[in-house]
Copies of this chain bind each other. A is one copy, B any other.
Amino acid sequence: MQHMRPGVEPFTTRTPRVVAARRLQRRRDRTEARRFLAEGPQAVREALAEGAVAELFTTADAAQRYADLIAAADDAGARISPVAEDALAALAETVQPQGLVAVCEFVDVPLAEALAKRPRLVAVLADIRDPGNAGTILRTADAAGADVVVFAGNAVDPYNGKCVRATAGSLFHVDVVRADDPFVVVEQLRDAGLTVYAADAYGAQDLDHVSCAGPTAWLFGSEAHGLPPELADAADARVRVPIYGGAESLNLAAAAAVCLYSCARAQRMEGTSR
């Protein structure tokens, strides 16, 4: 295996492959290449399981420490590229990427393809601009057993480095969908038999009083502005998480966690099957 061969000089920050990979830190270049970066052993492991790794940059240290991952990447046909510490640091956006950065193929699928699998729980991120929030909600949706997460309208790029990191590997577990028009998404979801709820701090329905035991999609809007009123109106109901104390509202990620888990629990308690 190439990475084990003694005498191979590790790539530097100036090596063309490293220079090219670094460009993937920019959205424009990601979109063009349909590739993105994932860093650290956890993300690399999940990306490998999804068959998404095209190239794996590794320091000499990491190649020893994560020999299993390097071998798996090699078996999967990924290119293994040994890099110097400073080149790895330049590829990574965090201070401790633990010596591994992977170039991954985009994993998103068309909504129709995701809906053909008859998902029971879907999260739609409409115009959510903050990558940390978006990634955290995707991670929470995965934990709650959601099958599909849609980045709709002006939502952040799911392949933004901060978003990828916030998903903690969940980006590779769910069907990720990118869709320009959230209204079309709502229509498609409803056509596929899902009940669509708009999470809305001022919604008329209380979460504790709506049924989400059946196939359900949740629309979440931006932290700053919430959902556009017309989009919330397009849903089957506007649903609020009840506020029992003095807080004016919940933050977005917390509200999403409560909504998604409420459904996950209802779906399991009612013993519905696919």
Q: Footprint of B on A, CB under 8 Å? A: 42, 136, 139-146, 166, 168-170, 173-174, 208, 241-251, 253-258, 261-262, 264-265, 268-269
Contacts and interface: CB of A to CB of B under 8 A. Distances in A.
Contact of A142 (B143, B241, B247, B269): B247
Given A145-B244, A245-B174, A250 B208 contact: no
Identify whether the interface residues of A are mostly helix, strand, loop, or mixed: helix
A89 to B, nearest CB: 21
B251 A264 contact: no
Nearest to A264: B244
Nearest to A144: B244
B136 A247 contact: no
A269 B244 CA distance: 13
A251 B169 contact: no
Contact of A254 (B243, B244, B253, B269): B253
Given A139-B250, A145-B245, 20 more contacts: A136-B253, A139-B254, A140-B254, A142-B246, A143-B244, A144-B245, A145-B244, A166-B251, A170-B247, A173-B245, A173-B246, A174-B245, A174-B246, A208-B268, A208-B269, A242-B264, A253-B253, A253-B257, A254-B254, A257-B258
A34 B105 CA distance: 54
Smallest CB-CB A-B distances: 9 pairs: A145-B244, A173-B246, A143-B247, A254-B257, A142-B247, A142-B245, A257-B257, A145-B245, A140-B254
10 contacts: A136-B253, A139-B247, A141-B245, A166-B251, A168-B247, A168-B248, A170-B245, A254-B254, A257-B257, A261-B262
Contacts of A169: 246-248
A250 B136 CA distance: 9
A199 to B, nearest CB: 13
A148 to B, nearest CB: 11
Contacts of A173: 245-247
A130 to B, nearest CB: 12
Contacts of A256: 254
Nearest to A145: B244
A243 B139 CA distance: 11
